[in-house]
Amino acid sequence: MSSEDNINGVLECVEHAYSNLSPAAQTLLLCLAQFSKFIDTANIPNYVKQLQNFEPFNDYPLDNFSDAIQEAMNCGLVAPINEESRLLTIQAVFSDFLQAKLATLDAATRTAFRQGFKNHYCSLADYYESLMNAKDAQAQELGIFFCRQEYENLYNALQICLENQESISIYFCLKRYWDLVGNHQNNLKLAETVCQQLENYPLAFIKGEFGYQIAFAIARLGRCQLSAKQYEQARKSYEKTLEIYDALESQDNQQKQLWQAVSDHQLGIVAQELREFEQARDYYQQALDIFIKYDDRYSCASSYHQLGIIAQELREFEQARDYYQQALEIKIEYGDRYGCASTYHHLGMIAQELREFEPAQDYYQQALDIFSEYGDRYSCARPYYQLGRAAQELGEFEQARHSYQQALDIYLEYGDRYSCASSYFQLGRLAETLGEFESAKANYLQDLQITVEFHDQHGLEISLGNLASFYQVTQDESLFLAVSEILGVSLEELKQHFDELLKGTR
């Protein structure tokens, strides 16, 4: 029997089962035609309320919806995901069957179904997002679970919103879901798709009640582009949000300026990543001035923190320490214990730069303890790495190796290949110090491979300068050959480049 015959046979079974349902059940199950794969029966009453707002359903026996679903369960058209669950899955063939039935109805009824479905999921998206934003881990996991199960339904409802050029609140729920599960690629793809369709929205929408959502969505796209190291694209996104905030008419000037301050802050991060430190400082100061103007003290903390990073990059260590202390005081004042972790971490880096290694270790340990307390394993990698640096400076080499390895293991676990480079580099330096040249070479080459792969020009200069010095010590021709292969240059070109780097260090 061919696959086409199998499909036709299944369709005939579905049609036969459907025809044996009561007339009321046949009518009501059409209401499920918009759903994909998943239904939470606990939410059916809300869906019914949405449908009751539309005239085409005035004669539908909506009060009997639960009976209709039970009939569908009895004949296997829908099924609970486990024995005692309110959560149902719809057979894919039955879903296709219902959509074909829906296509035969008049346009007004089809439109009403779409609107009812869309309104239902706008409400659910708000609920799921509130769960995912909860501080309670169980609530957050529940929100993630529902978004995973409901993703197609939520996405399809969002598409209806975009087609109708309406509020896109569902998008922010889906964006939050991808944030929490750590899928940056899907997050970026979703943001690009949504923002592309938002370009068709009229100016009247921007000036209306939900116009701010367009700027918010573009800002989310900017964050995704930042994560993907698409810095110029991110800059354009944040600059565009500034233009949109200016065009808003439904918000007062204070709110618009506070939103603009957030975009200024993000533009500072873009400039910082591009090592445009003076421009970054200007953006952070602009943001800080607005936060101070409107007495948004808590938001000042992030600006002080970033100004600290810029001062640190410019080796203005005492200024950096002052900024970090101001950020830390505000975070403690507002009970933001988790937020304190990153500031403790940076205070440790300042202490380390000033060769205050034991205070540095204390700061790093405080950061590590907080990240561990909040179950943020990924963020633990940074203090582990810095604890390795401090231990290495104090001559505690085995402790340093352990800390670097902990950081590397976490980056590998989370698929953060780019961040692995610095751990490989430091493991190489440590091995070289201990005379373990083969181990040093392997780690240095791993660092170089990743640095080249991610087009990190600043990191590449550091790696090549270090490799030139290492080659001078070891005269290892196999190292020379491996580096030339990674860079894609001839041995003669590499030798000339190494000679230039070594001359620069004399």
3-state SS, one letter per residue, for 206-234: HHCCCCHHHHHHHHHHHHHHHHCCCHHHH
Q: What percent of the chain clears pLDDT 90, i.e. is strictly above it?
A: 86
Q: Are residues 479 and 408 in the same domain?
A: no
Tens-place pLDDT, residues 408-421: 999 999 999 999 99
Tens-place pLDDT, residues 267-307: 999 999 999 999 999 999 999 999 999 999 999 999 999 99
Average pLDDT of the segment spanning 486-505: 85
Q: Are residues 9 and 91 in the same domain?
A: yes
Cα–Cα distance for residue pair 306/338, rounded to 1 Å: 17
Residue-range definition of the domain harbouring residue 485 = 416-506
**CA torsion angle for 429, 433, 437, 441 (degrees, to 10)?**
10
Q: Are residues 373 and 441 in the same domain?
A: no
Q: What burial letters (b/e) apply to 455-466, b meaning 16+ CB within 10 Å?
A: ebeebbeebbeb
Residue 70 within any structural domain of the chain: yes
Considering the entire predicted model, what is its pTM?
0.81
Which band of pLDDT confidence, cut at 50, 70 and 90, is reported for residue 4?
Answer: low
Domain edge (last residue) among 413, 438, 464: 413
Contacts of residue 362, Cβ cutoff 8 Å, sequence gap at least 6: 348
Q: Are residues 451 and 408 in the same domain?
A: no
Cα–Cα distance for residue pair 435/108, rounded to 1 Å: 79
Average pLDDT of the segment spanning 439-449: 96
Tens-place pLDDT, residues 337-361: 999 999 999 999 999 999 999 999 9
Which band of pLDDT confidence, cut at 50, 70 and 90, is reported for residue 505?
Answer: low
Sort 147 into a burial class: Cβ within 10 Å, 0-12 / 13-18 / 19+: buried
Q: Are residues 500 and 435 in the same domain?
A: yes
Check if the beta carbon of residue 72 is closer than 8 Å to that of residue 21.
yes
Q: Are residues 29 and 100 in the same domain?
A: yes
Residue 218, both tokens: 């573009």
Domain edge (last residue) among 365, 390, 413: 413
Residue 325 within any structural domain of the chain: no
Cα–Cα distance for residue pair 263/245, rounded to 1 Å: 10
Q: Are residues 391 and 446 in the same domain?
A: no
Domain edge (last residue) among 61, 82, 105: 105
Tens-place pLDDT, residues 476-491: 999 989 999 999 999 8
Q: Are residues 82 and 16 in the same domain?
A: yes
Q: Are residues 458 and 496 in the same domain?
A: yes
Q: Are residues 403 and 469 in the same domain?
A: no
Residue 253 within any structural domain of the chain: no
Residue 328 within any structural domain of the chain: no
Instruction: Please state, rounded to an integer, the average pLDDT across all residues of the chain.
Output: 94
Q: Are residues 404 and 482 in the same domain?
A: no
Beta strands 38-40 and 87-90 are antiparallel
> Number of structural domains, the chain?
3
Residue 189 within any structural domain of the chain: no
Q: Are residues 486 and 428 in the same domain?
A: yes
Cα–Cα distance for residue pair 234/107, rounded to 1 Å: 42
Long-range contacts of 429-433 (CB under 8 A, 24+ apart): 429/392, 429/466, 430/388, 430/392, 430/397, 430/400, 430/401, 430/404, 432/470, 432/473, 433/392, 433/397
Residue 52, both tokens: 């009751």
Helix axes 137-164, 184-198, angle to 10 degrees: 30
Tens-place pLDDT, residues 103-145: 999 999 999 999 999 999 999 999 999 999 997 889 999 999 9
Q: Which helix (H) or strand (E) holds 19?
A: helix 3-19
For tokens 């590499």, name the residue. Answer: 494
Residue 151 within any structural domain of the chain: no
The CATH number that applies at residue 45 is 1.10.10
Cα–Cα distance for residue pair 445/233, rounded to 1 Å: 31
Residue 400, both tokens: 């340093």
Average pLDDT of the segment spanning 148-152: 96
Residue 323 within any structural domain of the chain: no
The CATH number that applies at residue 390 is 1.25.40.10
Residue 200 within any structural domain of the chain: no
Check if the beta carbon of residue 114 is closer than 8 Å to that of residue 50.
no
- Is pLDDT above 70 for 2? no
The DSSP secondary structure of 79-93, one letter per residue, reads EESSTT-SEEEE-HH
